[in-house]
Amino acid sequence: MEMIYIYFFAELVLEPGEYVTSTDVRKWINQMLIPEEGKPLAISTINRRLNSLRSFYSWAQKNKKIIHNPMEDIQELKSADEDHEKIMWLTEEEFEDLFNRLRKTRVKSRGVDREEKYRRDRAIIYSLTYAGLRVDELSNLKLMDLDLDLKRIRIVGKGGKVRTVPFSTTLLNEIRDWLKFRVEKAKSKPYVEDSPYVFYSQRSPRLTVRGIQTMVESYSLPDKKLTPHMFRHTFCKWMLKATNNDIEKVRRLAGHSNIATTARYLKDSYSDLADAVEALPKF
């Protein structure tokens, strides 16, 4: 146990006895998951080290060596079983192609306003992809959760946990366009005017989870079924690329309680590998 404590301080370049926070521990976890040199440690190995560190700090707190235990908010990492949950995301080309289909798709039900459906579906897909929302989070998203001036979204996630995600300029423009259109539709649809929700259906003030799933699936291709969660996967994948694999930032934005969940997205797609090969020097 004492050796892990010494190893922990050495890895973080801290002096023994310095105060430690949960952020320091998460940084150590990141270093083990994504080392600058060598291979990442196995989840089981990392968990053994965390348990040893947890025992040390429990002893230190019990003996009044410290007031706050930095391990209180640190959970064991969970390994993802890829055979049971395959992560699927969209490439930039697939995302662009989707919006081309969105423009051209005809409505199948009578009485459905084609422009209204197009604008709503577009705003929904952008929200799922550029804010990393879960489908139930999107269904429950309220107008009061949007702060356009401060450019942020308040999201109530699993277990009632609240996180705040900054608006990207791309998403901010899409949401503003949708809200302007929504105001116009509210003049002819009283239930829209009274609805506190950002997205509504043709007959209801709130678009349900099933309604969102059905809408997204309707734009699938024969060889690739679309699901709302696929856009959340896309958000995580694109954010890792944008942040140079900063999994702690992506974990916070996505609302993952366990950083190992975020680490799953580090696996490269075949397209990523092909791009890397093409980037080799040409002589």
What amino acid positions are annotated as catalytic residues? 134, 158, 229, 232, 256, 265
DSSP bridge pairs for 197: 142
Other CB atoms within 10 Å distance of the CB of residue 262 = 22
End-to-end CA distance of the chain: 54
Q: What is the largest CA-CA distance in the chain?
A: 72
CA atoms of 6 and 37, how far apart (whole Å): 20
> What's the burial of 155, exposed, middle or buried (CB within 10 Å: 0-12/13-18/19+)?
buried
CA proximity to 258, closest of 11, 73, 134, 86: 73
* Helical pair 114-131 and 169-186, crossing angle rounded to 10 deg: 150
Task: Provide the token pair at 70.
Answer: 């930095």
* Amino acid letter, residue 261: T
